[in-house]
Structure 1
């Protein structure tokens, strides 16, 4: 029998009825041996996530009225879940102990990790699995980084002694034994770490969407679902804002060669999207997906015989480093180089340009604000004749002017820059060019 690690997000465990769905999913497949829960998420748009309530409890721990207000909301959520599921979990005692620790000055990491901790206890009781505190198997070193050797050794030992277990997401313990959390969305990372530690055959990430879509549904009506995507393609699309799971999730399982399956708790029959480490064949349409992002500025630097001037690019990058600015893309020509920068990173554009002029003495510098970048991604692109032609024809037919073009050396993506006002129209044009049957 294979081993699967299944992580369930906040919306999947937002209330008792969602817990029932989760149990049905787990029980349908005996290979789902190790379960990683998030804290309860929003039940509706007006609701508050448990983790957010815990942050508020920390913030207002010295304000008796507000603290009690937020803690009572949190308490009510958990008591409701336990009562509706008719469990014997001593939830009031657990909550009272946590409340006392908050009032005694517990750390922020300890407080906000309790959402997953409590949910893990409840879920383990409900499905009849062993509960293992993440603080006992996930460790951080003195630099605040995951202690991989200690963590994976401990996971392998402890979980090999348990056929089934629930491990809360989002946190572990630091070198001195205190609770330490991952960044927000860190339950995804916990799931990936557990999958690596037990050498799982598959890491399932259950959420409220059926995997990835070929385009943003707020821009394209009913975009097609991506059935399979490689880690590299996902990285390219995530770079432009298309994301379903925490980016750091990818790397532990990528290194271990474990595929990730994004599934929908509310539509368990949907196979979702499978994220794999390689691609056996090109996708049917030659592309996997298209994603766009606004908020860029392009600085184009022109200088004759620039390519013969040793250190020219280094001097430009040194100026960026001095201003604490990273670049998204760096397309070049014989006598030109363009810096594609996130506008929010630029604190003083005039100072930046002035320093580039002083360091590089260019013939001219052009600043182009208000640019949106669009990434068209797919392993099939480099093997399919006419892919680029179809893209640029679609943009031309829709009267969209392309301000910049950049194809990565990996040959799995084409980046185009357009004016921000044209982003939505450009994404639709590109999507339709590859999905409309001729």
Structure 2
């Protein structure tokens, strides 16, 4: 098999972690294309190299002496190089970085050097070819990602390459200036490399053994999801589950390339497989539970609104005019509710109310704040009777008042609105009824 393997910052924070990564890569001859992140935290209270680079560049922007901070960054890499007993010097690279920081070439350049330097170390450690992402990841002049050009550049550059290291997170504009993806963008680089070489598998190595069924800060030691579809992962990611960068999914999904999320510190764990579709029947009715706090609901009540053509469009037009997105729109015969991010809504509250009166002339408008949304996701829900009943029975037993119910037409998820104060209680109750009761 031909595999692309991406390693996160915690997996490459020290020489000891590099050794673990080396064993993982050498254990499978298919792992020939490696995408490294910048070194992460080595211990609690430590600073990520990317954050050190941002701080260093900000010092340069303010005309301060940044030599001490840059020296600390170099020390991080030199410690890894010494620990791996490599015959590699980054002196010239840091001389160039120092020069470019003095010239204030850009914050994106500064942030990208963490991955760039770690890529050089990784290539020397593995004896793989180093491919600078600036040569193969293309952005347009306005900073938008150029997928077509990138795929062409990557495919051509890697076509005759047996083994390569391509640092994550950054690329270049047509003028050669460095541009980065958003934080966590090394996942995106990995997926682009996998698509370009038509990989059989994309392995994403991090510090967790795959996707957990719910937030471990709420439920102690939740079960790991063995197999999840792209659609299920998208639903859970939207509701706060962030193991993979969202934009990393689409290049792989379009090519049908599976993702295996693995743990660098526990390589024996199978992790989670992310696939387009599967005949694999889930062990539990639900795949996962995600959620977020901080929503508000705006309920418009008007007699006979169901017979008024364009009512829903007019309501949503008010929110659009205020530059706001919406989350859900549950409705009844004479009521129409809009769930929005409370932080976004509060500055526009009175503007929205006035707009609704002008547009739809409601009988009443009711606002409610401090709400949370919980998504119960699972492909197994379609073929299982009584899923919703079990959810609401569990919530009632836990004394949780349900404010809203919304089920997608795909029957892949059920969204439940509760008060912020009931958020954790609700998640634990749902997890208990579908998982703990079946153990």
For the aligned pair, the TM-score class normalised by the smaller chain equals: over 0.9
CA contact (8 A) 2:141 2:173 kept: yes
Match of 1:322 in 2: 321
Instruction: Report the secondary structure of 1:374's partner residue.
Output: strand
Match of 1:262 in 2: 261
Match of 1:71 in 2: 70
Q: How many Å apart are 1:247 and its aligned residue?
A: 0.9
Q: Structure 1 pair 333/62, CA: closer, same or farther in 2 (3 Å)?
A: closer
Rounded to whole Å, the distance in 1 between the matches of 2:280 and 2:86 is 49
Structure 1 runs not aligned, ≥5 long:
none
Q: How many Å apart are 1:100 and its aligned residue?
A: 1.6
Match of 1:129 in 2: 128
Rounded to whole Å, the distance in 1 between the matches of 2:74 and 2:18 is 17
Rounded to whole Å, the distance in 1 between the matches of 2:172 and 2:82 is 31
1:79-108 Cα offsets, whole Å, 9 max, x none, are 111111111112122212211221122221
Match of 1:204 in 2: 203
1:396-426 Cα offsets, whole Å, 9 max, x none, are 1111110110001121000111111111110
Q: How many Å apart are 1:169 and its aligned residue?
A: 0.3
Q: How many Å apart are 1:273 and its aligned residue?
A: 0.7
Match of 2:408 in 1: 408
Match of 2:365 in 1: 365
RMSD between aligned residues: 1.3
Rounded to whole Å, the distance in 2 between the matches of 1:359 and 1:65 is 55
Under a length normalisation based on structure 2, what TM-score does the superposition of the two structures give? 0.97
Identify the range of structure 1 (349-358 vs 77-86) with the bigger mean alpha-carbon deviation. 349-358
Rounded to whole Å, the distance in 1 between the matches of 2:161 and 2:193 is 13
Identify the range of structure 1 (2-11 vs 333-342) with the bigger mean alpha-carbon deviation. 333-342
Under a length normalisation based on structure 1, what TM-score does the superposition of the two structures give? 0.97
Match of 2:377 in 1: 377
Q: How does 1:386-401 map to 2 (within 5 A)?
A: 386-401=386-401
Q: How does 1:99-248 map to 2 (within 5 A)?
A: 99-248=98-247
Q: Number of aligned pairs?
A: 437
Rounded to whole Å, the distance in 1 between the matches of 2:98 and 2:78 is 14
CA contact (8 A) 1:407 1:413 kept: yes
Rounded to whole Å, the distance in 2 between the matches of 1:321 and 1:154 is 39
Match of 2:435 in 1: 435
CA contact (8 A) 2:61 2:104 kept: no
Q: How many Å apart are 1:354 and its aligned residue?
A: 2.1
Structure 2 runs not aligned, ≥5 long:
none
Q: How does 1:32-47 map to 2 (within 5 A)?
A: 32-47=31-46
Match of 1:300 in 2: 299
Q: How many Å apart are 1:65 and its aligned residue?
A: 5.5
1:23-80 Cα offsets, whole Å, 9 max, x none, are 0000000000100000001111211111111111111105565512321221110111
Rounded to whole Å, the distance in 2 between the matches of 1:298 and 1:250 is 31
